[in-house]
Structure 1
């Protein structure tokens, strides 16, 4: 049985056992870095929410990525980790990893963890207990450790995580990762452990395994994840709940899979229906169904569609995309949108600027030129072969236009059109435990769903000791905007913010995260640019290694 110890320092939580919702957020920074309230990290707390940041880095990967600031150890060591709904592990790169001792294109840019410098660190399971591999051929191996992890202004002791003592990065910089998928998909050989959604629930900080994600517009540095609640100012229109599809092989709910049941394009004011009439349930897995099962994955940059769909629906309407999957960034200004229907219930409209994304040189942080003039952009809807899992990956190119509530306990996703660049003061509502939690929290413009009758992956019991929760002296990662981005990732002379080229991880011991380590064909950029620089675009990428 799990036990929770709460220290006396939780004065801010004293009014309610579930008052503090860790809210990782960031707003676009204004030009005056010294006088802006956000420059000082003064993020107002609504209903006990905890503010820190989720930020966007173009230079770390083709298409960018969404990262969070966390700390580990005593005294705390700062870490930058990818926020990934397509995988489940929390892990950091070890300072002793040979990759992290270099300064080249495959070095560790997100900070490293030195266990010897933490007086509260212990080994939970010796190396190679943490052993994960990725779709791009990258690997990370080491022990599972246990220490104090900081998130927002919450510090939690006895949190388990991987320590990557061996890091083999094949496509770019190595970065740590915070996977927030079902813990059933962790890269463990024997003993699953509570990951971050479960840790926060176990400590009583939130009521259930639930969080909301808002990535915001591609031109912003902004994004947020709110554990335990919903910010009603971050979406517009109806919030619709859909049941997560069961796994095609096991019949259990353990990944965030839903269906795209219809697709249309609007080009220069003309609406072009592409496909419709697909099934909103497991029937979509059949080859005769027109729906596309998709994994909602913040750790992936692109929307991967079957090659047949790409050739029939996408390529004819986006003829400016070349054979390398690139185009001139001038097309970001085209009068073009896509509208996706999810689960035969909710429509999401995506402007072209969200899936035509600038490409940066990860070493120089400079944009690439496009042959014929202007700057080069990647087209982030890509053809892909079968994953063997029954679904493709729907990444940040689409997710930026969506507000998504991931409800792990009830096996459901709630979707709405994102209200990008909203300047409204946050209106954060706490979601209570149970099947009616969202309905109680969102009283208007809400469409519920019947209970998911499939088997839902259960919460993992904490076998390594009790958690202790306290508050940090200052908010972790309180800087915002460009100040939150590591100096070596600052882009020069280009647009900010896009999605991630990484995808969920796949363990060599059986983890299924993000299409089970599927190797996706990459664009060959060699010889395309004047400088002759080769850039690999990994649309699933897998986890942290970019």
Structure 2
């Protein structure tokens, strides 16, 4: 029988507190931000079939597997190579690289909690693979000690119903995951932040938003993320468009904050300018005010700069804010950040109202903040106490800023948001997510240009930014291959919904973790599978420890 969290030893509690203080290990990129060294994007080519004539968006599913990482993580199905090799990658707006774990990596040929979890890539089995830059051109490390190195390759990558040739990506021939299973990654941030070695300049390349724009599949580097509620398992990422059925109220555009040090727009940083709680119709203001600009980085400013990061599970807030505003609201959360799961459905537990940029409010139910944790080996729920209550993690954590000027705002909050990430214009458009399963999709293509969203949504509820972006936006990368070609896949990749979106060998049985959101398949999902885990692991005599919420190599950052 597992020990109760309350009876955990002092050393175990100390370990857990250390873990929670570093809940999201931000990537320590191997390159500096050198926007001036980048060159213009390449010209695109259309294929002979003319399949791009009526394109303007591309949608694929993303899905959550609670048993594979503490608090869950969001994954997408893709393929790579000829014939296609199915892959599962973490969807990460907080990083920029596309990479796959090599089948020959020692970690991928091993077993155990730090091995690769399927979805590996074997270049020798692809007739279209070539090396773009030899190892160690791809060289990434993360703040939790995880790392991945290898060559940059190029091959055919499949997303949705498309096969795109000439796509560059990292091949992790050496993977060191310190916090759970290793898995590939689809970074969707600015390509200026890619994890490339210098030789003598970095090997930067167009990542997925740029590739899709360069092929003509979408008009600009813009995509919308809808994670859906925790119970629904799957959501979508829509490249090049907005689905107005996925949100309620006005979609509000906010300018991204510049990097605190470079002064350029190269990460998805916004500000939390107010916080309230609501219980039984009664709202209590917790804090308000502060700047929605670079002044928010000042330590005396009330606002909280945050990175909107799908690769992180929790929301990290300064310890002073947590102690003053959040700890009194949720006194049942113990010093390890855990609690019985019954509080997730307790109507007396407050929800939060978070104001972004002084202009848009997002309500986050307590049920999204109190998340079950599972043993990644058995897929069984962890037990909190001797009474047999299931253990949940509270997904807001106290953590001191790490020197970057901002903290991460992860999936616990993003599930309640519909977010449009507009790299071209350096803006984020935000609305309250609609989790009504009966809504009919209403996808609107967004044209290129500064007024693209405003013009496309002129007949819908929309609120433009008060001022257009005035800071310099990070330059784009140039393809080593010169161009891309696109064709239609014989079978669609990753467009199933609900539990059908999860690859077969990643699905949880009736007694396991995943429930709800069964949905119906609208296409053939990838047959491959992968997983990452920093899930809870019971330590004999020491209570529950070993879970993490961040994104290291494979998304398990922050684990012990």
TM-score bucket (shorter structure): 0.7 to 0.9
Counterpart contact for 1:81–1:110, Cα < 8 Å: no
Distance 1:82 1:138 in 2: 15
- The alignment's C-alpha RMSD in Å is 1.9
3-state DSSP of counterpart to 2:59: strand
Distance 2:313 2:515 in 1: 11
Displacement after TM superposition at 1:171 (Å): 1.2
Residues 110/280 of structure 1: CA separation in 2 closer, same or farther (3 Å cut):
farther
Distance 1:343 1:216 in 2: 22
Q: Does 1:357 align with 2:393?
A: no
Displacement after TM superposition at 1:3 (Å): 2.9
Distance 1:159 1:124 in 2: 10
Q: Does 1:456 align with 2:473?
A: yes
Residues 327/129 of structure 1: CA separation in 2 closer, same or farther (3 Å cut):
same
Which residue does 1:133 correspond to in 2?
Answer: 141
Residues 87/497 of structure 1: CA separation in 2 closer, same or farther (3 Å cut):
farther
Distance 1:98 1:334 in 2: 46
Distance 1:256 1:414 in 2: 11
Displacement after TM superposition at 1:545 (Å): 4.4
Which residue does 1:286 correspond to in 2?
Answer: 298
Q: Does 1:542 align with 2:552?
A: yes
Q: Does 1:169 align with 2:177?
A: yes
Q: State the TM-score, normalizing by the size of structure 1.
A: 0.86
Distance 2:286 2:515 in 1: 29
Distance 2:301 2:397 in 1: 20
Q: State the TM-score, normalizing by the size of structure 2.
A: 0.84
Deviations 1:348-375 (A, max 9, x none): 0000010100001001011011114321
Q: Does 1:211 align with 2:223?
A: yes
Distance 1:158 1:363 in 2: 37
Residues 237/524 of structure 1: CA separation in 2 closer, same or farther (3 Å cut):
closer
Q: Does 1:385 align with 2:403?
A: no
Which residue does 2:414 correspond to in 1?
Answer: 399
Which residue does 2:382 correspond to in 1?
Answer: 368
Residues 305/525 of structure 1: CA separation in 2 closer, same or farther (3 Å cut):
farther
Residues 21/524 of structure 1: CA separation in 2 closer, same or farther (3 Å cut):
closer
Deviations 1:517-541 (A, max 9, x none): xxxxx999765x88x6754232333
Residues 248/263 of structure 1: CA separation in 2 closer, same or farther (3 Å cut):
same
Displacement after TM superposition at 1:283 (Å): 1.0
Q: How does 1:137-148 map to 2 (within 5 A)?
A: 137-148=145-156
3-state DSSP of counterpart to 2:296: helix
Which residue does 1:187 correspond to in 2?
Answer: 195
Q: Does 1:410 align with 2:450?
A: no
Counterpart contact for 1:56–1:497, Cα < 8 Å: no
Counterpart contact for 2:132–2:480, Cα < 8 Å: no
Distance 1:526 1:424 in 2: 41
Displacement after TM superposition at 1:456 (Å): 0.5
Deviations 1:334-355 (A, max 9, x none): 2221000000000000000101
Displacement after TM superposition at 1:10 (Å): 4.2
Counterpart contact for 1:87–1:543, Cα < 8 Å: no
Distance 1:3 1:238 in 2: 36
Counterpart contact for 2:376–2:536, Cα < 8 Å: no
Which residue does 1:104 correspond to in 2?
Answer: 112
Deviations 1:61-90 (A, max 9, x none): 111110000000011100000000000000
Displacement after TM superposition at 1:311 (Å): 0.8
Counterpart contact for 2:78–2:159, Cα < 8 Å: yes
Residues 421/536 of structure 1: CA separation in 2 closer, same or farther (3 Å cut):
farther
3-state DSSP of counterpart to 1:377: strand
3-state DSSP of counterpart to 1:71: strand
- Consecutive unaligned residues in structure 1, runs of 5 or more: 25-52, 499-521
Displacement after TM superposition at 1:424 (Å): 1.3
3-state DSSP of counterpart to 2:404: coil
Q: How does 1:324-335 map to 2 (within 5 A)?
A: 324-335=336-347
Which residue does 1:339 correspond to in 2?
Answer: 353
Residues 497/387 of structure 1: CA separation in 2 closer, same or farther (3 Å cut):
farther
Distance 1:232 1:483 in 2: 24
Distance 1:73 1:224 in 2: 24
Q: How does 1:52-67 map to 2 (within 5 A)?
A: 53-67=61-75
Which residue does 1:447 correspond to in 2?
Answer: 463
